[in-house]
Amino acid sequence: MNFNSKRFSLAAGALILLAVLPMLPVPPFWITLLNNIGIASLVAIGLVLLTGVGGLTSFGQAAFCGFGAYTTAVLTTAYGISPWLTLPLSLAMGALIALPLGLITVRLSGHFLPLGTLAWGIAIYYLLGQIDMLGRHDGIAGIPPLSIGDHRFMSGSSIYYVIWTFVILTAIAAQNLLDSRVGRAIRALRGGGQAPEAFGVNVVRAKLTVFVLAGVTAALAGWLYAHMQRAINPTPFGINMGIEYLLMAVVGGAGYVWGAIFGASIVLVLKEVLQRYLPDLIGSTANFEMIVFGILLVLILQFARDGLWAFILRLFPLASARKISADAPLLEKRPTAPQGSSLIKVEKARKTFGGLVAVNDVSFEVTAGQIVGLIGPNGAGKSTTFDLITGMNSLTSGTVSFAGKQLSGRSPRDIAGQGIARTFQHPKILPDMTVLENVALGAHQRGHSGVAKSILRLERGEEASLLAEAATQLERVGLGEFKDRPAGDLALGQIRILEIARALALDPAVLLLDEPAAGLRLGEKKELATLLRKLRSEGMSILLVEHDMSFVMGLVDHLVVLDFGTLIAEGSPADVRKNPAVIAAYLGGVA
Amino acid sequence: MDLTIATFLVQDGLTNGAIYALLGLALVLVFSVTRVIFIPQGEFVAYGAMTLSFLDAGRFPPTASLLLCFGCLVFLLNLWDMRREFSVSGLARNALLNLALPAAIYLLAVTLASTQPGAMVKALLTILIIAPMGLYVYRIAYKPLADASVLVLLIVSVGVHLALMGLGLVFFGAEGLRAKALSSGMFMVGSFPVSAQSLWIYGATIAIIVGLYFFFEKTLLGKALRATAVNRVGARLVGVRTQLTGVTAFVLAATIGAVSGILIGPIATVYYDTGFLIGLKGFVAAIIGGLASFPVTAFAAIGVGIVEAFTSFYASSYKEVIVFGLIIPVLVWLSISTTVHEDE
C-alpha cells in the first residue's frame, strides 16, 4: 500500500471523529442518521464492487437486505437462536439467492441483470408481504437486540459501534480484494470479456463472484438493520430502496469503495433535509425527494460520471509509484521446449461461414525458437486462422494441436493455460489501470489465491511475485519507466508493446501476435522488429499475422501465405518472395 | 373451470395485454434505436390517463404547464449550446419548437378544458400534450449522454423515472383518478358481452401496430430508424441523422404512452405511480422479445396480460409476484438459447 501523509491524517481524523461522536452531546437523531448511513454504506459498497468495478448493476440490492433481515428475524424470534449465530446464516442466504440469479444472467448482455433485478425486486417485495411465516405486510416484531455477555446493544449509540465496525471492516475487505489478483480480474470485466478470457480469467466466475459478494454485503446490512430496528416489514426492502442504494453508489462514485460511504452519507443527509423542508415549500407532505433524487442521478451521470468522491481524491493525490519487492520469489516457469520441436500444428483446418469458405484446409506448423509469419492480402483468412488457433472461433473440420495435444474445441482460457499467449489486432487494454496492473493481468493463471485469501491479505507473497513478474516483463520489452502510468496514456506503438509484455507475463511457450505492426510509424515498426528478434534469441517462439510484407520479410524464419482462405505458398522469406503465386496475389495480374 | 369465467378472464387478459403490447413495442423501439432502456415509459401512461381524467372533470390538465416548463428548459439549454455558434435560423427554430409549440398547446388546453369537448377531442388533446414530452425528455436527459454505455443510460432512465413520477405526484396529487370511457356501452359477440372500451383498446393497438409497420417499411424516416437500430455508425456514415432518429423514437414512445394512458384510464384507477408497474409489465414482454423482436414482444405481452388475468382470479394476492417472477424463467431461457457475445 502506498500512503500519502495528507490522506492518512484525514482518514485517521475521520476515524477518531467517528469513534468519539456518540460521546459528544449531539442530538440523538444524528446517531440514528449515522446508523442508517452505516447500514446503507454496506449495501453501497457491494454495489460499488458490482457497478463501478465490475460493470454490472442491480436495482434489487434492497431485496438482498430483506433476505438477510428476514432470515435473522425468523430464526431469532421463532426459534430463539442467538443473533450472532444467525449472522453467517443471513450472509449465506444472501449468497445462496445471488448465485442462481447471477448464473442465469451473467451470460447475457450487461443490461439483463439490472432489468432482471428490477423485476424480481418488485416480485420479492410483494412476496414478503404475502408469506404468513414472515408476518405478511405487518412484518416481524420483537427481534432481540445484539448482545455480548450481559451487554445488550439496545440504544442507538451502542449499536452505532457495531454497525461502523462492520462498515469499516467491509470497506477494508473490499479494498483488499480490489488490490489483488482476483480484484484485477474483476476490474478487467469493464473492458469486455474477450481480453481477460484470453489471459485465463474465468469471466463468468469473476462476474458471479462480484454479484455474490454484493448480495452478501447487502444481507449483512439487512441483518444489522433487523437488530437495530428490532422490527421489520417489507417496505424498506422494496424497489424504491433498491434504486436509492444505486443512487448512493453513483453519487459517491462507482469505483471507489470509500466513495460508497460518502455517497450514502450525501443521499441520506439530503433525504433528511428534503423531508424536513420540501413539504413546507410545496405545501403538502409526500415523497417529493424522489424528484430531487432523480434529477441528481441524471446530473451526476451527465457531469461527473466518476461520482463526487473522485473530486475529493483529486485534492489528495497519491504519491503513486508502486513498490516492487526485489526479493519476491520467482513464479514457476514452464519448461522450455527443445529448439526445433513442433509446437503449434495446424492440419487441414477449415472454417466455413454459411457458403463462404474462409479457411480452406490450411496446414502449417510452428516449431520452437522460430518466428513464423502468416501473411496474405486483406480477406485472405489470416485473422480467422488466428481465431481458430486461439479458440475464439471453432473449426468446421481439421485439427489444431499444441505440442501433440488437441486444441480444437477448447476455450480461449484453456488454450492460454497451455502456454499460448496472444495480442489483439485492436489492442484491448484497460486504460484506467496502470501499465503494471495491465501486464500483471497476463500472469493471472500463474497465481492461485482466491477471494478469501485476498480479503484477508494472505496472498501478499504471491501478489508480490506476480507484480515482480509483471515489472520484469515490462523491463524486458523496454516499458519499465511507464509502469505506474495509466495504460491509457501510452501511444499506440507502446500499447502494442504493452500487449506483448502482458502476453509474456503468461510465461508462454508461443506468442501469437495479431497484426502487431498495424498503425505503427516506421520507427515504431523497427523497434518492434528489434524486440521480436530479441525475444527469439531468448528462446521465444512467435507466430505473427501481418500484411505488411516489408515488416515480415527481414524478420521471420518461415512464411505461410494465404489467399482467399487457401495456402498458396510456404517457405523461407527469400523463396516466398520469388513465388509467382504470391506475386500474383499481392500485385494482381497474371503470374 | 367455468367457461364464462374463462372467457371473461381471457377477454380481461387480452385487454390488458394489448396495452402491455403497445408499451413493449415502444420500449423495443427506443432501445433498438437509441440503446436507452426507457424505464420512464410508464410515466407517460400515467400522465396520459391523468390528463384525460382532468379534462373529463372539466379541469385544466397540469401536464400542459409541465410541458411548458420542459419547453422553456430545453429552450435555455439549446441557447446555452448556441453560445459559440449563434445563428438566427437556429434561434428561430429553437423558439418555435420549444417555446411556441408548448405555448400553443398550453393555450389550446386552457381554451378547451372548461368547454367539455367530445371524448375524441379530449383524447387528441391529451396526446398533443404528452407527445412533445418525449422530445424534451430526450433533449434534457439523454442527448448529453449519447456516447454513454447501455448501463449508464439505464441508470439515467431510473433517474428520469423518479423525477417524472415525483412531478406526477406534485401535479396530480396522491389521489387515484379514473377517466370516462371513450364510448360507453356493451356489445354482444355471440353470447359474450364485450365492452366498447375494450374494442377501442383492440382497435387502437392494431392501428398502432399496423401504423408502425408502414412507418418502418414505407417511409424514409422509418427506414432511417431501422438503419440506426441495425448499425448506428453505419447509418451515420450514409447520412442518417442519428439525433433525429433518436428524437423520433422518443416522440413515438411518448405518443404510444399517451395512447395507452387514454385506453387504460377508463378501465383502471390510475395513481401517480401506477404507470411504473404498467410499464414494467411491458418490459417483461420486451425482455421476452430479447429487447429486439417486435412480434415476439407483442405476443408475449398478450401472454403476460392473460397470465395476470388468471392469477388475479385464482391467486390474486400473488398477482404481481407471478407476473414479475415470469422474468426468471425467461432469463433462464434466454441465457441458454443465446450464444455468448461481447458487451458493447
Q: Which helix (H) or strand (E) holds A470?
A: helix A460-477
B151 contacts on A by Cβ (under 8 Å)? 51, 55-57, 110-111, 114
Q: Which helix (H) or strand (E) holds A147?
A: strand A147-148
The whole-number average pLDDT for the span B182-192 is 73
Judged against a pLDDT cut of 60, whether residue B227 lies above it is answered with yes
Nearest-CB residue to A119 (from B150, B284, B317): B284
- In chain B, the largest separation of any two C-alpha atoms, in whole Å, equals 71
- Which of A468-477, B72-81, B172-181 has the least mean pLDDT? B172-181
Compare all CA atoms of chain B with the CA of A281 and give the residue at the minimum distance.
B170
A252-305, pLDDT tens digit by residue? 886 788 889 999 999 999 988 888 887 777 666 667 788 888 999 899 888 888
Q: How confident is the model at residue A95 (pLDDT cuts 50, 70, 90)?
A: very high
Nearest-CB residue to A298 (from B141, B150, B317): B141
The whole-number average pLDDT for the span A362-375 is 89
A109/B343 touch (CB, cutoff 8 Å), yes or no: yes
Judged against a pLDDT cut of 70, whether residue B20 lies above it is answered with yes
The domain limits of chain A are 31-315, 340-419+508-591, 429-507
Query: Does A445 contact chain B (CB < 8 Å)?
Result: no
Judged against a pLDDT cut of 90, whether residue B250 lies above it is answered with yes
B318/A105 touch (CB, cutoff 8 Å), yes or no: no
A301/B338 touch (CB, cutoff 8 Å), yes or no: no
Contacts of A45 (CB under 8 A, 6+ apart): A167, A170, A171, A174, A217, A257, A260, A261
Alpha helices in A506-548 (DSSP H): 522-537
Q: Which of A504, A509, A198 is nearest to A343 (CA)?
A: A509
The whole-number average pLDDT for the span A174-191 is 88
Are B137 and B250 in contact, with CB atoms under 8 Å apart?
A: yes
**pLDDT at residue A282, rounded to an integer:** 65
DSSP label at B322? H
Domain annotation covers residue B297: yes
C-alpha cell at A142: 420483537
**pLDDT at residue A591, rounded to an integer:** 40
Query: Does A561 contact chain B (CB < 8 Å)?
Result: no
Judged against a pLDDT cut of 60, whether residue B343 lies above it is answered with no
A108/B338 touch (CB, cutoff 8 Å), yes or no: yes
Q: How confident is the model at residue B237 (pLDDT cuts 50, 70, 90)?
A: confident
> Which of A279-283, A404-408, B45-49 has maximum average pLDDT?
B45-49
B151/A51 touch (CB, cutoff 8 Å), yes or no: yes
**pLDDT at residue B88, rounded to an integer:** 86
B342/A193 touch (CB, cutoff 8 Å), yes or no: yes
Judged against a pLDDT cut of 70, whether residue A3 lies above it is answered with no
Q: How far apart are CA A209 and CA A277, in angstroms?
A: 42
A112/B141 touch (CB, cutoff 8 Å), yes or no: no
Judged against a pLDDT cut of 60, whether residue A1 lies above it is answered with no
Burial status of residue A590 (CB atoms within 10 A of its CB: 0-12, 13-18, 19 or more): exposed
The whole-number average pLDDT for the span A472-479 is 88
Nearest-CB residue to B321 (from A109, A130, A282): A130
Alpha helices in A230-308 (DSSP H): 239-252, 257-282, 289-303
Domain annotation covers residue B132: yes
Judged against a pLDDT cut of 70, whether residue B107 lies above it is answered with yes
Mutation target to probe the A interface, by most A beta carbons within 10 A, among B143, B147, B331 is B331
The whole-number average pLDDT for the span A572-583 is 84
B324 contacts on A by Cβ (under 8 Å)? 119-120, 122-123, 126
SS3 sequence, B18-61? HHHHHHHHHHHHHHHHHCCCCCCHHHHHHHHHHHHHHHHCCCCC
**pLDDT at residue A333, rounded to an integer:** 79
**pLDDT at residue A589, rounded to an integer:** 53
Q: What is the mean pLDDT of chain B?
A: 87
Strand spans (E) along A354-419 = 356-367, 371-375, 397-402, 405-406
Judged against a pLDDT cut of 90, whether residue B290 lies above it is answered with no
Q: How far apart are CA B270 and CA A27, in angstroms?
A: 42
Half-sphere exposure of A398 (CA within 13 A, CB side): 21
Taking only residues 226 to 245 of chain A, the set having a beta carbon closer than 8 angstroms to any beta carbon of chain B reads 243
A57 contacts on B by Cβ (under 8 Å)? 151, 154-155
B320/A126 touch (CB, cutoff 8 Å), yes or no: yes
Rounded to a whole number, what is the distance in Å from the CA of B43 to chain A's nearest CA? 13
Domain annotation covers residue B185: no
Nearest-CB residue to A130 (from B158, B317, B334): B317
Strand spans (E) along A335-484 = 342-353, 356-367, 371-375, 397-402, 405-406, 420-422
B151/A290 touch (CB, cutoff 8 Å), yes or no: no
Q: What is the mean pLDDT of chain A?
A: 86
B205-217, pLDDT tens digit by residue? 999 989 988 888 8
The whole-number average pLDDT for the span A211-230 is 94
- Show the domain range for B139: 3-178+195-337
DSSP label at B177? B
B292-311, pLDDT tens digit by residue? 888 889 999 999 999 999 98
Q: How confident is the model at residue B341 (pLDDT cuts 50, 70, 90)?
A: very low
Judged against a pLDDT cut of 70, whether residue B125 lies above it is answered with yes
B169/A288 touch (CB, cutoff 8 Å), yes or no: yes
A397-402 and A342-353 beta bridge pairing: antiparallel
A302 contacts on B by Cβ (under 8 Å)? 144-145, 156
C-alpha cell at B3: 367457461
Domain annotation covers residue B72: yes
Judged against a pLDDT cut of 80, whether residue A127 lies above it is answered with yes
Half-sphere exposure of B254 (CA within 13 A, CB side): 21
Rounded to a whole number, what is the distance in Å from the CA of A369 to chain B's nearest CA? 34
A298-344, pLDDT tens digit by residue? 998 888 888 888 888 877 766 556 777 777 778 777 777 788 788 88
CA dihedral sign of residues A482, A488, A490, A494? positive
Q: How far apart are CA B53 and CA A104, in angstroms?
A: 42
Per the DSSP assignment, residues forming a β-bridge with A352 are A357
Count of domains for chain B: 1
Judged against a pLDDT cut of 90, whether residue A42 lies above it is answered with yes
Query: Does A109 contact chain B (CB < 8 Å)?
Result: yes
Query: Does A518 contact chain B (CB < 8 Å)?
Result: no
B155 contacts on A by Cβ (under 8 Å)? 57, 246, 250, 297, 301
**pLDDT at residue A109, rounded to an integer:** 67
Residue with C-alpha cell 477448447?
A410
The whole-number average pLDDT for the span B73-89 is 87
Q: What are the φ and ψ backbone dihedral angles of A127, each rounded to 5 degrees?
A: -65, -45
Judged against a pLDDT cut of 60, whether residue A358 lies above it is answered with yes
**What number does CATH give the domain A340-419+508-591?**
3.40.50.300
Taking only residues 361 to 400 of chain A, the set having a beta carbon closer than 8 angstroms to any beta carbon of chain B reads none
Q: How confident is the model at residue B21 (pLDDT cuts 50, 70, 90)?
A: very high
**pLDDT at residue B70, rounded to an integer:** 94
Q: Which of A210, A206, A211, A216 is nearest to A170 (CA)?
A: A216
B341 contacts on A by Cβ (under 8 Å)? 109
**What number does CATH give the domain A31-315?**
1.10.3470
Rounded to a whole number, what is the distance in Å from the CA of A99 to chain B's nearest CA? 13
Per the DSSP assignment, residues forming a β-bridge with B195 are B186
pTM score of the predicted model: 0.88
Q: How far apart are CA A505 and CA A32, in angstroms?
A: 51
